[in-house]
Amino acid sequence: MSAIHSSHGGHSGPPSAAGKGSTAHNRFLVKLTVISTLGGLLFGYDTGVISGALLYMGEDLDLTPLSEAVVVSSLLFPGAAFGALLGGRLADALGRRGALFVCAVLFLFGALVTAIAPNVVVMVAGRILLGFGVGAAAAVVPLYLAEMAPVHKRGRMVTINELMIVTGQFLAFAMNALLDAIIEDPHVWRWMLAVATVPAVALFAGLFFLPDSPRWLAVRGRLEETRHVLDMSRDPAEAAEEYNVVAEHARRDVTEDKGAALRDLRAYPWMRRVLWIGCGLATVQQATGINTVNYYAPTILESTGLGASASLVLTITVGVVAIIGTVIGIILLGFINRRPLIITGFIGVAAGHAVLALSFLLPESGFRSYLILAAMLFVVFFVQTFIGTLVWLLLSEIFPMTIRGFAMGIAVFVLWTVNAAISFAFPPLVAALGASLTFGLFALINTGSIVFVTKFAPETRGRTLEELEDNFRTHDAGHLVHEAPAGVRGG
């Protein structure tokens, strides 16, 4: 398993790589990013819309507390968790673009089924379909963007998907409020759910105008198409150099690797190491407790003494802070290395949870309620600015080409499973331990996450995916590259 060293020499590429590129190349990359991240928008919308729809669908579907919980959670598990596995396998078998076509169909039919559902059984089936789409898109969209992007734009292009996710969630809240205001009908929840068909159709149609990933094409011997795709998004010199690197690595992968993900993982310890790091990153991202805030913010605020209406209104600030934090995170990626950002994020989250834990020890008052809200927003800001964007980016970058789709599916399956487990465990934990000890536990867990990312998170900025793979082949998990090349420009 000899490593192949590109002519980049561990640096950020030829001078043209750091330039702005032609207008045509930039237009193509913008089009590609906008169309593919509609998958992220749908991810956000379909996870957020149910909060408003539940207020109206209870009577139509005769929901009980148990069936309501099943309707909400079925999108996460088994839907999104197993959808991630499906998406990973489809990305390897059909290509990244082909897998996104399947995602678009799942989003479309899932939205239609939930919008016309006559009973709980049909609603849950539709939510699981949507979950398959959410999980698959979560695995495929970052991979597609990472493989399509020039090295100096990869960070910002991939993390646009995270911005689209939080925008989709905010759009769901806004659309729920708008439809509630203009449609005076107890069946308005059906319109709330049906709106998701519009971006699903747009995603499906838009994919006809996009090519498949040059890396996926190269591994399948379709080198003419590989060169054509690179020419669409790079200046000629940069495209020629990257083509040589991609083609050389593809020949190596086809010759030396087993060609099947499970056989490759059994055969090569270095691949297993990278997969374990990916699963660890997925786990610590969810261990931030971000979804305890996303799913339970109104409940938490109401428990502090605020009224239900005030709690709902104040929860909107969570969505606003999430969008602001994501935008700031994308900007920072252009100037700061990945590792310092993600380590900073976990330090901030651990501190935020510690403040939350201490706040619940104070006597009930208006000051206490707003201090708890401020601490929750502090956690959301640090997660969205430094962790949410970074983990999705690292997962899209670190896996070797021959198992990239499969490994991404496994990591995102772990992410959704941990998400579901924490979401289900949070209310019983608060009931058993109290809010102060529960958030203290999150502070302790995130302190452990600081240790994990400091030791194992690689620095991926300024290196091609092929250069990263060469490093992972030749270094153990504790000695992966921790610094970006000198003189790196761009994210």
Over residues 246-258, the pLDDT tens digits come to: 999 888 877 765 5
Only one residue has tokens 């102060």, namely: 436
Euclidean distance between CA atoms 361 and 462, whole angstroms: 46
Question: Is the sign of the CA dihedral 442, 167, 102, 100 positive or negative?
Answer: negative
Average pLDDT over residues 80-91: 93
Question: Is the CB of residue 397 less than 8 Å from the CB of residue 465?
Answer: yes
Q: Which tokens is 97 given?
A: 């673009």
Report how far residue 76's alpha carbon sits from residue 138's, in angstroms, rounded to the nearest whole number. 12
pLDDT at 11 over 60: no
Q: Is the pLDDT of residue 280 over 90?
A: yes
DSSP for 161-226 reads: HHHHHHHHHHHHHHHHHHHHHH---TTHHHHHHHTTHHHHHHHHHHGGG----HHHHHHTT-HHHH
In the predicted model, is pLDDT for residue 312 greater than 80? no
CA atoms of 409 and 138, how far apart (whole Å): 9
Say if 8-210 and 261-491 have the same CATH topology. Answer: yes
The answer, yes or no, to whether the previous bond of 236 is cis (omega within 30 of 0) is no
Residue located via tokens 């019983």: 428
261-491, CATH topology level:
Growth Hormone; Chain: A; (1.20.1250)
| Residue burial 119-139, b: 16+ Cβ < 10 Å; e: rest | ebeebbebbbbbbbbbbbbbb
Mean pLDDT to the nearest integer, 287-307: 72
Contact at 8 Å (CB) between 388 and 162?
A: yes
User: Is residue 477 exposed (0-12), middle (13-18) or buried (19+ Cβ within 10 Å)?
Assistant: middle
- Higher pLDDT, residue 476 or 257: 476
- Segment 288-297 mean pLDDT: 75
d(CA 355, CA 392): 27
| Rounded average pLDDT over 207-217 | 95
Q: In whole angstroms, what is the distance from residue 294 CA to residue 172 CA?
A: 13
Please, which pLDDT band fits residue 51 given cuts at 50, 70 and 90?
Answer: confident
pLDDT at 12 over 50: no
Domain boundaries, the chain: 8-210, 261-491
Instruction: Find the mean pLDDT for residues 363-368.
Output: 84
- Taking only the tens place, the pLDDT of each residue in 95-142 is 999 999 999 999 999 999 999 999 999 999 999 999 999 999 999 999
Range in 4-18, 34-48, 173-187, 237-251 the model is least confident about: 4-18
Rounded to whole angstroms, how far apart are CA atoms 323 and 271? 35
Q: What mean pLDDT is predicted for residues 152-167?
A: 90
CA distance 342 to 162: 15
Q: Where are the alpha helices (H) located in 37-150, listed in sequence order?
A: 38-48, 50-61, 65-73, 81-94, 96-116, 120-148
User: Taking Cα atoms as reference points, which of 221, 203, 230 lies closest to residue 38?
Assistant: 203
What pLDDT is recorded for position 8? 41
Q: Rounded mean pLDDT of the chain?
A: 86
| pLDDT at res. 209 | 96
Question: In CATH terms, is domain 8-210 a member of 1.10.3720.10?
Answer: no
Lowest-confidence range among 87-101, 131-145, 363-377, 400-414?
363-377
Q: How far apart, in whole angstroms, are the C-alpha atoms of residue 93 and residue 220?
A: 10
Range with lowest mean pLDDT among 58-62, 85-89, 300-304: 300-304
Q: Is the pTM of this model over 0.85?
A: no
pLDDT on residue 6? 40
| Per-residue confidence (pLDDT) for residue 14, from 0 to 100 | 39
> Alpha-carbon distance 215 to 466, whole Å?
10
C-alpha triplet 44, 49, 50: angle, nearest 5°: 120
Please give the full DSSP string across 236-287, using - where no structure is assigned: HHHHHHHHHHHHHHHHHHHHHS-SSHHHHHHH-HHHHHHHHHHHHHHHHHHT
Position 150 confidence tier, pLDDT thresholds 50, 70, 90:
very high
